[in-house]
Amino acid sequence: MKTNEKKHKRPKYSLEFKQDAAQLVLEKGYSLNQAADHLGISLSALGRWVRAERKPSGNESATKKPGLNLGDHDELIRLRKEIEQLRMEREILKKAAVFFAKEAE
C-alpha cells in the first residue's frame, strides 16, 4: 500500500438509521443478508446493530454483562465526551485561580 493512499473510512450512520435497520430484522422478518443487501450496508455492521437492539432473553446467563442498546450507546459516547470537556475546563480554571492568587499577593 502506498503511503499517499487514503485508508477506507467507515461510513457514519445515524442512530435512527441503525435502529430502523435492526427493526427490519427483528420485527419485519427480513434475514440479515436480505436487510444488509437491501440497505447497502455490511452484514457485520447490521449484525452488531441487531444484537444491540435485541432484548435480552430470560435464559441468558446471569453472569453475562448486559449490552447497551444503540440509543444508550450513543448517549454514553456523548456523555464521555462531555465529561472530558468539563475536566479540561476545570483544569484551566484551577490554573487560572492559582495565577490570580499569586498576582493578588
pLDDT at 103: 81
What is the Cα–Cα distance from 28 to 13, expressed in whole angstroms?
A: 20
For the stretch 49-101, pLDDT in tens is 999 888 765 555 444 556 778 888 888 899 999 999 999 999 999 999 888 88
Alpha helices by DSSP H, the chain? 15-26, 32-39, 43-53, 70-104
Q: Is the pTM of this model over 0.75?
A: no
